[in-house]
Structure 1
Amino acid sequence: MEQTWRWFGPDDAVRLPQIRQAGASGIVTALHHIPYGVVWSVDEISKRRDMIADDAELGLRWSVVESLPVAEAIKLGEGDLAALFDNYRQSIRNLAACGVTTICYNFMAVLDWTRTELAFRLPGGGTALRFNADAFAAFDCYILERPGAEADHSEDVLRRAKAWVARASQSDKDRLLATIMAGLPGAYDRYDVPGLRRMLDRYHGIDHAALRANYARFLREVVPAAEEAGVSLCVHPDDPPRDLFGLPRVVSSADDLQFIVDACPSVANGITFCTGALGAGAQNDVPAMAARFAPHIRFAHLRNVTKNADGSFMEADHLGGDVDMVAVVTTLLKEQARRKQAGKANWRIPFRPDHGHELCDDIGRGTHPGYPLIGRLKGLAEIRGVMTAVASTAGLPM
């Protein structure tokens, strides 16, 4: 499996030599400065590719795009989308022309990954990302004041949410909004409360069936161009894998993944298998899903979560938490071996250590939330150890 690392570009506090020190050889990055829906030009792509490969001693390459964003109008099925589809197809072609042929994207409405705490304190003083059901309900019901929101939360969670609001200062509420917005990377729009209400209003009447239909249309429009260019598109699951703010989520379960691969059957229509995003859903048997969808996995995010019965969860150690990481890695290595035996040229599955704990000298360093250096280095080292042990024992290629 190709060891990769997410890098947010030249402004990232984590530098390319440090990524090489961590043991990664592939870079996962995106052109975050380009607005949604605008073509990624060959010039801009080449500039980022060459920046990564500039120091030959490091031996780094741009392995995966994360993400080539889908414009909100496409998710909404809103207006004349021909130009947006054309632009997305052209970006795919331009990336392929520059040698970047694995593209991660998501189809989450309005928000990307969502948490309520960015620095939950761990024993010893490290910090982790956390999703608290009561804080989320407090925001949904009593700050955002979304009509009908109370029906989406249990009585116990609502009771604790009211208590949260009662003791919260305005700065607490502002911090919670900023935390919920933190999953939108790069220069993407952040919303204040009125702005978020307006975005949610645009989705009025869009249910699961409608969003699935819009997603299937997107796949039919762009997958043929990806296949022709030799590109693998791989969708990232919803994070967390549940409806939020009344917005439907359609990449949250095994049923959803089956719908996606069936909606546009193609070698170019693949999956980013994120053990943390899927693992946050009580309905998901992550090792079983890895085995079921292994032929469609083109990229993997390996991290772990610990769940609570009320829907809360926390980012755990990469080999801790609720997901059997050894079982997942074993499945991915076996799938690689199958592809190699079948003569596939690109048989290795790129993976990256996803969200890590903020540890040691990274605390207060100002890295992107969830993306410190040391916590991810620790996770990559642990996963590398699992890979080595499994591959050696089972006689599988790394």
Structure 2
Amino acid sequence: MRETWRWFGPKDLASIDDILQAGAQGIVTALHHVPNGIVWSPEDIAARQKQVAQRQDGSPSGIAWDVVESLPVSEDIKKQVGDWRAHIANYKTSLENLAAAGIEVICYNFMPVLDWTRTDLSWRLPHGGTCMRFDINDFAAFDIHILARPGAAADYAPEVVEEAARRHAGLSDDAKKRLARNVTMGLPGSTESLTIEDVRDHLAAYAGISREKLRRHFIDFLSEVVPVADKLGLRLCCHPDDPPFDLLGLPRIMSTEDDYRQILAAVDSPANGVTLCSGSLGARPDNDLPGMMRRLGPRVHFLHLRNVKRDGTSVAGSFYEAEHLGGDTDMVALIAEIVREENRRKAEGRRDRQIPMRPDHGQDILDDLKRQAQPGYPTIGRLKGLAELRGVSRAIEHATYGIAGTATPAA
């Protein structure tokens, strides 16, 4: 695996110098200041590449911008309203500009409205650190009682509805505001200015868009952009839904292996691929991460390695961000499948035989607790995660003691 690190630009509390000390080999970043649907200009791309290429003292960093995360798909494209055709044209131009700059891997998602959702951004762990958590009961309390979405209660199990009512009754006004802010953190743009009415407007705009219709819109989008990516030698890779189940009555279409198979088959090209996020997909107990890597491996273009610990066995349930080797996903088995896939690619002579990986999220520990970094992106927590993942990978790849390529995978 090629070890990369997500960087949010010059304002990120983790500097390029910090990332070098963590041992990362490349950078995952995006032009976060460019509004969705607008072209990423060659000048803006070059400026970000220059920032990545320099240490704080101006000397060369020796690393480069390897992966885009993400080139956003606008809400207009997802709904096929307004300027959606112009946004697709702009997306193609952005792909051309990224290819001209030498960047080949483009991660994106097709989640409606919410890019990701948690109910607690700093959940206290027994060791004193914190992490992000999704609690289905708290989420239902927001959905049913704070947002007051019509018919919301019907989307939850009776015991969840009952517990949500109890929890909502015990919340202070400040706690209600904090819960609403946490839930809507994954909305496009600045979450600080969004009101409950703003959220309701977003949801109303998706009225009448079923899961099947949203999938058709996704395939329409891919039918336009994948041929361009293929011609340019780019690898597009869709990130899964986070969490991987329906929320707020919105359809989710990239939550399972079958979801990916449908999309990969509908637009069958090496340029149409997968961002395998073990944390997002791992929040569902029916997702087999090592098996997905084995079966979808040839089309996996980017890896997010993190772990979650689920509270139970419900598909739509609660979970928290666990240590990278400590959650419900067997990370050793998953990395073994990744190494097998890379060995297969090497034997085939593929240029992309090394799959870029980043340690996704992490627990806030030590000095992270004082930094107040981007939620889910602590410096030391990710450093610890990268070290753990690197150790597993090195052991599996070891020429004498490694197991990759020697064990027979299960059918």
TM-score by length of 2: 0.94
> What is the CA distance between 1:190 and its match in structure 2?
5.8
1:129 matched to 2:132? The reply is: yes
**Which one is further off, 155-164 or 208-217?**
155-164
8 Å CA contact 1:112–1:183 kept in 2: the answer is yes
Say whether the 8 Å CA contact 2:26–2:66 is kept in structure 1.
yes
Root-mean-square deviation (Å): 1.4
Contact 2:240 2:255 in 1 (8 A): yes
Which 10-residue stretch deviates more, 284-293 or 373-382?
A: 284-293
Distance change in 2, residues 1:188/1:104 (3 Å):
farther
The 8 Å contact of residues 304 and 315 in structure 1, kept in 2 or not, is answered as: yes
Partner of 2:372: 366
- Residue in structure 2 matched with residue 54 of structure 1 by the alignment: 54
Give the alignment partner of residue 388 of structure 1, picking from 388, 394, 400: 394
Name the % identity. Answer: 51
Q: Say which SS state the counterpart of residue 182 (structure 1) adopts.
A: helix
Bigger RCO (CA 8 Å, 6+ sep): 1
2:324 to 289, 306, 318: 318
Residue 362 of structure 1 aligns with an amino acid whose one-letter code is D
2:173 aligned partner: 170
The structural deviation recorded for 1:289 is: 1.1
**Whole-Å separation in 1 of the counterparts to 2:25 and 2:188:** 23
Q: CA deviation at 1:189?
A: 8.3
Corresponding residue for residue 338 of structure 2: 332
Asked if structure 1 preserves the Cα contact closer than 8 Å seen for 2:114 and 2:188, the reply is no
For the 8 Å contact 2:184–2:191, the answer to whether it is kept is no
Deviations 1:264-291 (Å, cap 9, x if unpaired)? 0111100000000000012211111111
Partner of 2:185: 182
User: Structure 1, unaligned stretches of length 5 or more?
Assistant: none
1:221 to 221, 224, 228: 224
Cα distance in 1 between the residues matched to 2:190 and 2:390: 32
Find the aligned partners of 1:238 and 1:306 in 2 and give their Cα distance: 17
2:40 maps to: 40
Corresponding position: 1:353 with 2:359: yes
1:365 and 1:82 map into 2 onto residues whose CA distance is: 42
> Deviation per CA, 1:148-173, whole angstroms, max 9, x where unpaired?
11011111111111111111111111
For 1:324-377, what per-residue CA distance to the aligned partner results, in whole angstroms no more than 9, with x for missing partners? 111111111111111111111221100000010000011031210000000000
Residues 305, 357 of structure 2: 8 Å contact kept: yes
Partner of residue 343 from structure 1, selected from 338, 349, 363: 349
Residue 91 of structure 1 aligns to a residue whose secondary structure is: helix
TM-score, structure 1 length as denominator?
Answer: 0.97
What is the SS of the residue equivalent to 2:89? helix
2-structure distance, mates of 1:199, 1:186: 12
Stretches of structure 2 that go unaligned for 5 or more consecutive residues are 406-411
SS in 2 for 1:139: helix
**How many equivalent residue pairs?**
396
1:95 is the counterpart of 2:98: yes
The Cα shift of 1:80 comes to 5.3
* Amino acid aligned to 1:376: R
- Could you tell me whether the CA contact under 8 Å between 1:33 and 1:186 is conserved in 2? no
Q: Is residue 114 from structure 1 mapped to residue 106 from structure 2 by the alignment?
A: no
CA shift for structure 1 position 57 = 4.9
Return the letter of the residue paired with 1:318. Answer: H
The 1-side partners of 2:379 and 2:16 are apart by 11
- What is the rounded CA distance, in whole Å, between the counterparts of 1:336 and 1:65 in structure 2? 21
Conserved 8 A contact 1:32-1:186: no
Contact in 1 for aligned 2:134/2:319 (Cα 8 Å): yes
Pairing partner for 1:275 from 278, 294, 297: 278
Q: Distance in 2 between matches of 1:66 and 1:305?
A: 21
1:383 deviates by 0.2
Deviates more, 1:179-188 or 1:57-66: 179-188
Q: Quick one: distance in 2 between partners of 1:184 and 1:142?
A: 19
